[in-house]
Chain A
Amino acid sequence: MVTSPVLAVRDVEKTYASGTRALRGVSMRVLPGTVHGLIGANGAGKSTLIKILSGWQQATAGTVEWKGDPVDWSHPGQALEAGMAAVHQHTPLVDAMTVVENVFLGRRETKRWDAAARRADLLALCERVGYELDPAELVSELSVGARQMVAILQALARNPDVVLLDEPTAALSPAEREVLFRSVRRLRDTGTTFVYTSHFLDEVMALTDHLTVLRDGLVVVDSPTADVTVESLVTAIVGKRLARMESSAPAARSLGQPVLSVRELSSAGRFGPVDLTIHEGEVVGLAGLLGSGRTELLEAIYRADPACTGEVRVDDRAVRQSPRAAVKAGLALVPEDRARQGFVRDWEIWRNISLPYLSGMSWRRLLPRAAREKALAQQAVDDLGIVCGSTESAVGELSGGNAQKVVFAKWVYGPARVLLLDEPSAGVDVGAKADILQLVRRLADDGRGVLMVSSEFEELLTACDRILVIRRGEIVADLRVADTDLHEVTALASGLKEGQPA
């Protein structure tokens, strides 16, 4: 029996104005009444494809067919009209409005807001989905998971034929995930079609009927989920050539004393109790997917999370609960969102670099010596290869990679004992990426400890001695780089394989 697809994509290509080819001829057929998984690593083209499907962006070449007819949606409203609703990772909801007001936001079928009818509609919808919600509750009072459900209900309230779910579980607790899965299955059985993307491969295997795997803008797997094995899936995602790193992994180095030790560190709802130790000269990778609690863990170690409990010791001295104490104790954080957390945009390179240890390079810890600061900045520019007009350039004017090097430079010339790096190479071009990884290695060789988060696991395998895998707030594995490969790390982080708690 041949069913015609409700949504089909034929040879879609997308080239951005910058010349990046995000999609290089992707075809996909979504059959009605199925859950269609769309997966791939970061930068594989998933987000671009979803944006094209939901009308946010247009394909450079190729066609999108909706119920057999080619369509050319130029804004999301058209996709919605046609019967395709998208739920993005962070769907904006109006906090100050109730659940029912949010679910029917922007509906224009009736002029009058018929509260009783809307309430009845919502309850009927909840009944159909199998999820209970108080329609009169304010959205700001809801848990993250319930908010996500409101966003999904908002999409479903328009009775769409196809629902795009983009990473819907990243912020959900296991119980909330179960509710979501039940709802999705239930709606599928009544004829709604889902396109589902997730980093968590265990979810994808459990929930979807058909899988499309993207890699580097091409479809590498297109088959029913039942025919796919876990092994082949991981290989498809990471690619054969990368499954094993060339043996650039460093030989076992002699490590010094423990420099950072973390005991029973936990923050309610973010990550569970975590223990870890980092030695002098060691680079430890923290491998985790978006929403795994990796950033939160790093911030808690840096004592920037006032709600966390547990102990952090540097050189066997406990660190009090404030970033100020952390800096004094010898911790340094290179944050993920550098524009928001890393530098002062209007400041020159030299003023940014000297910020954390300014009093140390001042006359009597009181009067900064600009000449010294500028000399340091010049040294950083030379050492790290920061491309800029001069050390007087504002950091906000630099490219992402160079700004990142400035954020690094803030810490590397100071007395920091442990560097906490959150996605140090995100948004950085390939050349700068290699520079930064080399720099990390060099910093450790000088006797510092490094804890580095990255969602590009290849990077961790290249730069680290040891990798801790974090999933849903727990460290599920402690692997020596020499004994592991990309397969294993990916499988552990995405929940395809259970690890032994570290």
Chain B
Amino acid sequence: MSTSTADHGSWRRSLAPRAAGVVYAFIALVAILTITSAAQGRPSYLSSVNLSNILDQSALIAILAIFMTVVLISGNFDLSVASTAALAGTVALKTIDSYGPVVALLAALVTGALVGLINAVLVQKLGVNAFIVTLGTLTAVRGVVQAILDGQSITATDTTLLDIATARWTLPIAAAIVIGVLLVAGAVLLIRRGSSIMSTAGLWFAGLALILLAVFRPLMLTQTAPVWIMLVLAVLAALVLRFTVVGRNLYAVGGNPEAARLSGIDVDRYKMVAFVLNGTVAAMVGVLYAGRFNSVDPTVLTGGELTVIAAAVLGGTSLFGGSGYVAKSVVGTLILFTLSNGFNVLNIGSNYQNVVQGTVLVAAASLYTATSKRERSRFRLALRRNKGSGGEPPAASTTENKELVRH
């Protein structure tokens, strides 16, 4: 078997802009901000405080981006997450003083799951376009929040949620080193079982980073609870997507639903579970968000869904389904928040912030589309070459059909 050429190919593929672009972009962005702030004589951009700050600001949106990626992989689309989070936060704060934190949390999660279920049934069972359905739930659920709050913001007296959302948890240095070593060991194991070095880059990177932080920046091992929750969920989701039958089937369902269905996969169930999961997680994010100040107002998280989708798209997740990585979506979120953080640190003023964020998003999407177009035309060429011997003139490429059907 010619493993050497295969490895060579996968090396090049993983390093190509399409595969790793978001990581390059993030590194470049941080480098630019570091150099600029150093040149202006400001405090180090890479200080533990500032980095922890960025992480804390992006944690909740990153959690949403992780599960948005799951929905996008399944071939659907969910605009309702921010409204769902707002509703769940409202439900939690409304119930916590009378029924206690456990009931409040459960009520919030059930609310989120229900919104997800409504989306799932309308999209998957009734066949309404996901964009329309979730645009509807986005509006209607926000309406429910406004109706409940009636223009007021509410505050709870029970501070359990506040305590959780603002807690700072510290990972002991020893534990960090052990986990780091385990991650690297896992990567080595995978390579020995035939994976290429680059396909395990995430594991290498995470493991080494953890060890380095433990040794050189122990302060970074103390983070707020949302950051830790985000990291745990990201790792869990990544592991499930990459290493389990469920994950594989999810990619198949998004990549070619008809082929997946005819291969005996319950396409509807996968797509519906993705929606329900997304709603539930959005509810959890809503509770954490409400817990930050122990209060919610009717406009909480308005427009958050667009940031979440932007983060997933920055991470290279396809809006047509079947491809995407949660780790890259998290990096995408970090880029968006690093940008706004950079504007603050450099004191540029927030007027241009949206212009830059929008430009970055469109530039990233253009880059992805341009690179994958080249792949598509190569595919079309191959198709033409073998069609010729069949005696039929080349038909239009199937790729085009797929896109026409999708939107």
Contacts and interface: CB of A to CB of B under 8 A. Distances in A.
A335 B263 CA distance: 10
B244 interface: yes
Interface in A294-351: 302, 304, 322-324, 326-328, 333, 335, 339-347, 351
Interface in B349-396: 378-379, 382-393
B195 A345 contact: no
A20 B389 contact: yes
Interface stretch (B44-52, B207-215, B249-257, B293-301): B249-257
Interface in B246-303: 248-249, 251-252, 255-256, 258-266
Interface centre among B261, B263, B386 (most CB of A within 10 A): B263
Contact of A346 (B245, B322, B386, B389): B322
B6 interface: yes
B194 A370 contact: yes
Contacts of B262: 302, 304, 323, 333, 335, 341-342
Nearest to A304: B262
A20 to B, nearest CB: 5
Nearest to A334: B262
B193 interface: yes
Contacts of A47: 392
B258 A366 contact: no
Interface string A349-367: 0010001101100100111
B37 interface: no
B390 A427 contact: yes
Nearest to A17: B388
A400 B260 CA distance: 20
Contact of A22 (B252, B383, B391, B401): B391
Interface size class of B (residues with CB under 8 A): 35 or more
A66 B402 CA distance: 39
A499 interface: no
A390 B2 contact: yes
B243 interface: yes
A18 B398 contact: no
B393 A368 contact: no
A392 B387 contact: no
Contact of A358 (B6, B249, B266, B322): B249
B323 interface: yes
A389 interface: yes
B386 A355 contact: no
Nearest to B246: A366
A19 interface: yes
A428 B389 CA distance: 8
Contact of A367 (B193, B243, B391): B243
Given A343-B259, A356-B264, A366 B244 contact: yes
B195 A358 contact: no
Contacts of B243: 367-368
Contacts of A366: 244-245
A396 interface: yes
A392 B6 contact: yes
A374 interface: yes
Contacts of B2: 389-390
B86 to A, nearest CB: 36
Contact of A374 (B194, B259, B388): B194
B237 to A, nearest CB: 15
B73 to A, nearest CB: 12
B404 interface: no
Interface centre among A51, A304, A324, A327 (most CB of B within 10 A): A324
A324 B265 contact: yes
Contact of A399 (B265, B382, B401): B382
A487 to B, nearest CB: 24
Nearest to B9: A392
Contact of A368 (B248, B261, B322, B392): B248
A371 B1 CA distance: 14
Nearest to A48: B393
A399 B1 contact: no
Contacts of B249: 358
Nearest to B10: A392
Nearest to A428: B390
B255 A346 contact: yes
A355 B393 contact: no
Interface residues of A, number: 57
A410 interface: yes
A378 interface: yes
A180 to B, nearest CB: 27
Interface in A5-56: 16-20, 22, 43, 47-48, 51
B263 A355 contact: yes
Nearest to A43: B391
Contacts of B391: 20, 22, 43
Nearest to B263: A356
A400 B388 contact: no
Contacts of B256: 340-341, 343-345
Nearest to A322: B266
A324 B353 CA distance: 50
Contact of B264 (A326, A368, A429): A326
Nearest to A56: B393
Interface string A406-418: 0000100000000
Contact of A400 (B244, B390, B393): B390
Contact of B1 (A18, A341, A378, A401): A378
B5 interface: yes
A60 to B, nearest CB: 13
A57 interface: yes
Nearest to B193: A371
A340 B261 CA distance: 11
B245 A367 contact: yes
B381 to A, nearest CB: 10
Q: Which of B10, B244, B385, B393 has the most CB of A within 10 A?
A: B393
Contacts of B386: 399-401, 427, 429
A324 B266 contact: yes
Contacts of A362: 245
Given A358-B249, A368-B243, A328 B194 contact: no
A322 B266 CA distance: 9
B126 to A, nearest CB: 14
Contact of B255 (A18, A339, A345, A365): A345
Contacts of A342: 259, 262
A397 interface: yes
A371 B189 CA distance: 12
Contacts of B193: 370-371
Contacts of B6: 389-390, 392
Given A18-B388, A356-B264, A392-B6, A347 B398 contact: no
Nearest to A364: B245
A324 B264 contact: yes
Given A340-B401, A341-B262, A400 B245 contact: no
Contacts of A304: 261-262
A323 B195 contact: no
B16 to A, nearest CB: 14
A19 B99 CA distance: 79
B379 A429 contact: no
Contacts of A327: 263-264
B268 to A, nearest CB: 10
A322 B5 CA distance: 42
Nearest to A51: B393
Given A333-B262, A355-B263, A370-B193, 13 more contacts: A20-B389, A20-B391, A57-B393, A302-B262, A304-B261, A324-B265, A327-B264, A340-B259, A344-B260, A356-B263, A358-B248, A368-B243, A378-B1
19 contacts: A16-B388, A20-B388, A47-B392, A48-B393, A341-B258, A345-B399, A355-B248, A355-B260, A355-B265, A362-B245, A367-B243, A370-B194, A389-B2, A389-B6, A392-B9, A397-B382, A399-B382, A427-B386, A428-B390
Q: What 3 A-B pairs are tightest by C-beta distance, nearest first?
A: A18-B388, A327-B264, A399-B386
